[in-house]
Amino acid sequence: MVGPVAVGGDAPISVQSMTNTLTSDPAATIAQIEALEEAGADIVRVSCPDEDSTAALAEIVKSVSVPIVADIHFHHQRAIEAAEAGAACLRINPGNIGSKERVHDVVQAAKDHGCSMRIGVNAGSLERHLLEKYGEPNPEALVESALFHAKILEDHDFTEFKISVKASDVFLAVAAYQGLADQCDYPLHLGITEAGGLRSGTVKSAVGIGSLLWAGIGDTIRVSLSADPVEEIKVGFDLLKSLDLRHRGVRIVSCPSCARQGFDVIKTVETLEQRLEHIATPLSVSIIGCVVNGPGEARLTDVGITGGGNGAHKVYLSGSPDHNIGDDEKIDHLVSLIEEKAAQIERDKADNINEPAHAAE
């Protein structure tokens, strides 16, 4: 458990991101966490490199709803302070914080304050003895490091932890996670670290994280992008939606467009993506420029539109052709239909929750 969020087992795969504000600036950090919450983040990590950061953590934790992971590296006292401040989880490698006494104190603080932990192994910061043993970062070295740190926590009768074995190289990261999954049953936090900018990092992460999830490996993910952290959450949910693992917000099915298109598909999709960002309810929309594939795609979505001649386009509701709409009105009309559909889905959910159970006759 990371606060109220279950990780592993049959729990939904959670989506994480990390703040890039100074944690010692609680107002800026809280504002960024709230933006991540709005985007759907299940868990948010903040870095705690110094005492000012852990001092601000208590205010941050109290001001937000999402559970907070405190990122700790070498200073055991920061981990203790973070646990006392209300962090739901500590990201720490116990073998890097010094003596057995220090490890004991950190584990005890985690137990006392209900913290879980994440062992975070990274190919760029492997222990020296493993680099000497293997000559370079490789899957075996990453797995050995992870199991070494796990054994330390196990020896302290602490098993509330998940593990990551990240690398910026997709093949290295995937092989390491596969090896780790073969050797332990702890929840795994997936990520391709230092993946790059918004486009290139999204592609790398989708290949690496996607292939692992496809194989049934992974319980929580973070898409690491040199971009606004909110984009990490958006990409994370898009990745899960593409694998039919989790659904949040509007899923748009759209064609790449061609000379047959009856309206500007690319501009329409771009505008709709922006105007529908506020909808968290899972539903599907098809935007197809002509009638070749349009009706078939529309049958599989909640709302759809296909391009028609003379600026008259066919609108589909719940898979069936319903009415025509002119080109100038189509954006506002589709947004209205989609918002109405989302609201109806939420009303139906509420009715099902509040409906009393019928007694057996």
In a shared domain, residues 220 and 172: yes
One-letter-per-residue 3-state SS of 8-65: CCCCCCEEEEECCCCCCCHHHHHHHHHHHHHHCCCEEEEECCCHHHHHHHHHHHHHCC
Q: How far is CA 357 from the centre of its chain?
A: 35
Residues contacting 241, CB < 8 A, separation 6+: 247, 248, 251
Residues contacting 320, CB < 8 A, separation 6+: 299
The CB density around residue 347, as the number of other CB atoms within 10 Å, is: 10
Q: Is residue 259 part of a domain?
A: yes
In a shared domain, residues 218 and 349: no
Domain-ending residue, one of 215, 242, 269: 242
Domain-ending residue, one of 226, 242, 258: 242
DSSP characters over 293-315: THHHHHTTSSEEEE--GGGEEEE
pLDDT of residue 359: 42
State the DSSP H helix or E strand holding residue 265, giving kind and residue range, or none if neither.
Answer: helix 265-275
pLDDT of residue 357: 53
Q: How many whole angstroms separate alpha carbon 13 and alpha carbon 245?
A: 8
**Rg of the chain, C-alpha, whole Å:** 24
Residue 178's alpha-carbon distances to 165, 171, 212, 344, 349, in angstroms, are 10, 11, 8, 42, 38
Report how many helices (DSSP H) and strands (DSSP E) the chain contains, helices first.
12, 13
Q: Is residue 361 part of a domain?
A: no
In a shared domain, residues 218 and 101: yes
Q: What is the pLDDT along the chain (361 residues), one digit of tens a residue?
A: 999 999 999 999 999 999 999 999 999 999 999 999 999 999 999 999 999 999 999 999 999 999 999 999 888 999 999 999 999 999 998 878 878 899 999 999 999 999 999 999 999 888 999 999 999 999 999 999 999 999 999 999 999 999 999 999 999 999 999 999 999 999 999 999 999 999 999 999 999 999 999 999 999 999 999 999 999 999 999 999 999 999 999 999 999 999 999 999 999 999 999 999 999 999 999 999 999 988 999 999 999 999 987 778 999 999 999 999 999 999 999 999 999 999 999 998 888 776 655 443 3
Does the pTM of the predicted model rise above 0.85?
yes
Residue 144 lies in domain = 14-242
User: Considering only CA atoms, which of 72, 70, 24, 15 is closest in space to residue 229?
Assistant: 15
Q: What's the token pair of residue 192?
A: 């391709």
> Are the C-beta atoms of 169 and 191 separated by less than 8 Å?
no
Q: How many whole angstroms separate alpha carbon 262 and alpha carbon 60?
A: 51
> Are the C-beta atoms of 232 and 223 separated by less than 8 Å?
yes
Q: Is residue 293 part of a domain?
A: yes
Domain-ending residue, one of 208, 242, 276: 242
